[in-house]
């Protein structure tokens, strides 16, 4: 068996979970936080503190499974390679699909994209990040010419005078982030939160704008209307640093505040106060998260918030700006290196001839042999096993049975495949359906780089011994490539892969060519873009604030784009009279495949629940602790009732860390980002008889 790569080892590594990528030491299975990483500066949340339990989990897979029975690596990889060959022979290269994840290291994301396009020559690759922050990425690309979550160091928040969070619940998703908000408020700064729920983050806010689900876009238009009407637009900035303001001003003129109040439910006085706080601040930030982004109009919603930030003159000014609070551990890096259907490494467009030529040269292939763009994540899952769709799927670092919208339908599609291969370190719900399960190493057992929500490239060191029998994803890809006759193109050492990634990214938007493992270790992270410099020249310092002088658009200006509000893809009606919105809880991460295996976390949050307002509960005859069924057009889920007035009376909330809520969510897609509408659909709620 291959030897697991040994470089670089050391106890200083990073958390397995969210995009904050808190620094931690892992020593003999014990975790202590690192002080040297600014994002967490000595803090961790309960997920991070307990992450070492993953390393010794009794549910750990240590041998491949072939149709449910233990098998040797040779047998399992041989079976997969044979089946891939048969599917390709019958259906062509696009008969095989690849699905990646936003938690994979940069090296794995890069290698997965290369494996799909060079070894399999399939266009059918996408990843679960499409379900995460793709709308913010699309909006940032079209406004700024670059998508880097926070285009400033997170510590800039500490010194801001005002921060608006739209659909961001950091108090539960990434608690050490709250320190930065607390620091800001301790210095006199004000916090504004837009959310249909009085979340733990909203409880810390000076203003809470409790929007009706699916109306964030109307709210952003209303805020911009007020900003212009009340004289808060920075006309000098708009003239010198943006284009498109006049069209945007015209489009928001119809969104007078009383109309916005009727649509969103947010009182005019609160909107005016929010704009006054932002408009009078010397340093202010507008930040979006999944609550604003996971809609069939998510790109336009984020664009409206970007327009607000631009009208106030914030992006590209030190201490101010617009940013997206990325969710998954490598949500940022995961979308830069080529596991996305429409991208090549370096955040290059796959249909750009110059990009194809550059990457093909690094890969040693003919640009004409590189496939074109493939299907987006949900479209890919929906096409599996259908006429013209892929018949085999290789899945890495994802659990779509729990995390994809209309999950019952996705389960049917997965069941209809000729071959489902899942690489994971535990038997997730999706792995349990697979023909072949390949057991992998996990976070602290392997080296690699992660790019956190600031665009800071970090080094995850190998800090623990993996159990015997498991392999890294890089080794798995090599094993398959060997059997396909192109193994030498797929090295297994993360540093070697990173060096190739640097070359592939050179000259791209996300240029990593000047970043090395040594520099990351010495500088506790390097911000991209960081191009390589010539021999004898000073190394590029990295770019903490990329927009200070100009935006990376052809004319150097940010583009304001007029957008219009529209209702959710599925609105409430007589049959389904209640909005359902989904989200996260403090104790769990994503589909819960990891955190539902950690005892303190399952004790803290043991089960799926349905949060509903006392008025709605009374109307339905539901008491706290009752089992309720939530039913929609695509399926149903059951959960324990939690009754509180933190939620609007017209809305129920369910976390998506357990199987259930995504049986109900709507796969209506954003036309630009192809993001599904996770955050709003229509349901009926009933108390279960006999309970």
Among the listed ranges 15-23, 229-237, 534-542, 621-629, the one in contact with ligand SF4 (CB under 6 A) is 15-23
Q: Does 45 bind ligand SF4 (CB under 6 A)?
A: yes
- The neighbouring-strand residues paired with 581 are 653
Instruction: Closer to ligand SF4 by CB, 21 or 430: give it.
Output: 21
Sheet holding 419-424: strands in order across? 69-70, 65-66, 436-439, 419-424, 392-396, 96-100, 125-127
- Sorted by sequence, the CB contacts under 8 Å of residue 152 that are 6+ apart come out as 318, 319, 321, 323, 454, 544, 545
Among 4, 5, 12, 15, binds ligand SF4 (CB under 6 A): 15
Least separation in angstroms between residue 52's CB and ligand SF4 is 12
* Interacting positions 152-211 with ligand SF4 (CB under 6 A): 174-176
Contact status: 47 vs ligand SF4 (CB under 6 A): yes
Q: Is 20 in the site for ligand SF4 (CB under 6 A)?
A: yes
- Shortest distance, position 589 Cβ to ligand SF4, whole Å: 6
Which residue is at the shortest CB distance from ligand SF4? 48
Nearer to ligand SF4 by C-beta: 20 or 616?
20
Report, in Å, the least distance between residue 18 CB and ligand SF4.
3
The DSSP H or E segment spanning 253 is: none
3-state helix, strand, coil in the chain (%, to 5): 35, 20, 45
Q: Does 102 bind ligand SF4 (CB under 6 A)?
A: no
Q: 22, 274, 308, 675: which one contacts ligand SF4 (CB under 6 A)? A: 22
Picking from 376, 362, 380, 217, the residue whose alpha carbon sits closest to that of residue 295 is 217
Contact 472, 32 (CB under 8 A): no
Question: For the packed helices 494-505 and 353-363, what is the interaxial angle rounded to 10 degrees?
Answer: 150
**Residue 508 touches ligand SF4, criterion: CB under 6 A:** no
Counting contacts by CB under 6 A, is residue 17 touching ligand SF4?
Answer: yes
Smallest distance, ligand SF4 to C-beta of residue 398, A: 18
**How many Å apart are CA 452 and CA 141, to the nearest integer?**
18
Scanning 322-394, the segments in alpha helix (DSSP H) are 353-363, 377-383
Give me the least distance between CB of 218 and ligand SF4, in Å please.
31
| Contacts of range 90-94, beta carbons closer than 8 Å, 24 or more positions apart | 90/391, 91/390, 91/391, 93/120, 93/121, 93/122, 93/123, 93/371, 94/122, 94/123, 94/124, 94/371, 94/374, 94/390
Least distance to ligand SF4 from the beta carbon of 175, Å? 6
SS3 assignment for 129-144? HHHCCHHHHHHHHHHH
C-alpha 26: how far from chain center: 25
Q: How far is the CB of 39 from ligand SF4 (least distance, A)?
A: 8
Give least dist CB 17 to ligand SF4, A: 4
**Cβ proximity of 91 and 631 under 8 Å:** no
Is residue 66 part of the contact set for ligand SF4 (CB under 6 A)?
A: no
The residue (of 175 and 279) whose beta carbon lies closer to ligand SF4 is: 175
- 21 counts as binding ligand SF4 under rule CB under 6 A: yes
**Is residue 31 within the footprint of ligand SF4 (CB under 6 A)?**
no
Contact string 622-651 vs ligand SF4 (x = CB under 6 A): ------------------------------
| DSSP secondary structure code for residue 119 in this structure | I
Contact between 653 and 611 under an 8 Å Cβ cutoff? The reply is yes
Minimal distance in Å, beta carbon 443 to ligand SF4? 10
Judged by the rule CB under 6 A, the positions of this chain that interact with ligand SF4 are: 15, 17-18, 20-22, 40, 44-45, 47-48, 174-176
């Amino acid at each position: 068996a291959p030897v697991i790569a040994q470089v670089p080892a050391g106890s200083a590594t990073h958390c397995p979970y969210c995009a904050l990528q808190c620094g931690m030491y892992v020593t003999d299975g014990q975790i202590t936080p690192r002080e040297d990483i600014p994002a967490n500066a000595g803090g961790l949340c309960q997920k991070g503190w307990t992450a070492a339990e993953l390393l010794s989990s009794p549910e750990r897979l240590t041998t491949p499974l072939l149709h449910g029975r233990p098998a040797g690596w040779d047998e399992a990889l041989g079976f997969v390679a044979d089946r891939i060959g048969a599917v390709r022979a019958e259906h062509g290269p696009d008969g095989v699909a690849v699905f990646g994840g936003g938690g994979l290291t940069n090296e794995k994301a890069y290698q997965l994209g290369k494996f799909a396009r060079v070894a399999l020559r399939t266009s059918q690759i996408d990843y679960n990040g499409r379900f995460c922050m793709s709308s913010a990425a699309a909006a940032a690309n079209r406004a700024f010419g670059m998508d880097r979550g926070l285009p400033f160091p997170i510590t800039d928040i500490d010194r801001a005078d005002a921060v608006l969070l739209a659909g961001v619940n950091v108090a539960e998703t990434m608690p050490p982030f709250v320190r930065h908000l607390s620091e800001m408020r301790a210095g006199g700064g004000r916090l504004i939160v837009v959310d249909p729920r009085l979340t733990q983050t909203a409880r810390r806010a000076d203003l809470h704008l409790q929007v009706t689900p699916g109306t964030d876009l109307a709210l952003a238009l209303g805020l911009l209307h007020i900003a212009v009407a009340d004289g808060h637009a920075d006309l000098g900035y708009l003239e010198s640093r943006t284009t498109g303001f006049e069209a945007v001003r015209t489009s928001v003129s119809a969104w007078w505040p009383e109309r916005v109040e009727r649509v969103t439910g947010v009182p005019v006085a609160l909107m005016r106060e929010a704009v006054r706080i932002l408009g009078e601040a010397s340093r202010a930030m507008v930040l979006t998260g999944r609550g604003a982004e996971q809609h069939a109009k998510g790109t336009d919603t984020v664009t409206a918030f970007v327009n607000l930030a631009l009208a106030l003159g914030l992006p590209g000014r030190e201490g101010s700006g617009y940013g997206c609070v990325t969710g998954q551990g490598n949500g940022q890096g995961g979308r830069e290196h080529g596991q996305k259907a429409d991208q090549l490494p370096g955040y290059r467009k796959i249909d750009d001839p110059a990009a194809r030529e550059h990457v093909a040269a690094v890969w040693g292939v003919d640009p004409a042999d590189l496939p074109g763009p493939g299907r987006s994540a949900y479209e890919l899952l929906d096409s599996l096993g259908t006429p013209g769709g892929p018949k085999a799927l290789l899945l890495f670092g994802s659990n779509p049975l729990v995390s994809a919208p209309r999950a019952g339908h996705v389960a049917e599609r997965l069941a209809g495949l000729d071959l489902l291969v899942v690489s994971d370190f535990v038997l997730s719900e999706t792995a349990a359906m697979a023909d072949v399960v390949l057991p992998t190493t996990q976070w602290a057992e392997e080296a690699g780089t992660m790019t956190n929500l600031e665009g800071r490239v970090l080094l995850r060191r190998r800090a623990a011994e993996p159990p015997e029998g498991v392999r890294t994803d890089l080794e798995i890809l090599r094993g398959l490539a060997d059997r396909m006759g192109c193994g030498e193109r797929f090295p297994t050492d993360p540093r070697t892969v990173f060096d190739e990634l640097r070359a592939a990214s050179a000259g791209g938007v996300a240029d990593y060519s000047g970043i090395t493992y040594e520099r990351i270790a010495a500088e506790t992270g390097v911000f991209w873009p960081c191009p390589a410099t010539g021999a004898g020249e000073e190394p590029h310092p990295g770019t903490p604030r990329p927009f200070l002088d100009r935006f990376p658009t052809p004319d150097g200006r940010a583009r304001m784009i007029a957008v219009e509000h529209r209702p959710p893809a599925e609105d409430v009606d007589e049959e389904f009279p209640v909005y359902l919105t989904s989200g996260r809880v403090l104790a769990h991460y994503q589909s819960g495949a990891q955190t539902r295996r950690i005892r303190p976390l399952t004790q803290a949050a043991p089960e799926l629940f349905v949060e509903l307002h006392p008025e709605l509960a009374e109307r339905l005859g539901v008491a706290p602790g009752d089992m309720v069924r939530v039913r929609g057009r695509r399926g149903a889920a059951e959960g324990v009732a939690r009754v509180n007035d933190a939620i609007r009376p017209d809305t129920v909330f369910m976390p998506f860390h357990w199987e259930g809520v995504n049986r109900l969510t709507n796969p209506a897609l954003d036309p630009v980002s192809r993001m599904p509408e996770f955050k709003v659909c229509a349901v009926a709620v009933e108390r279960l008889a006999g309970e």
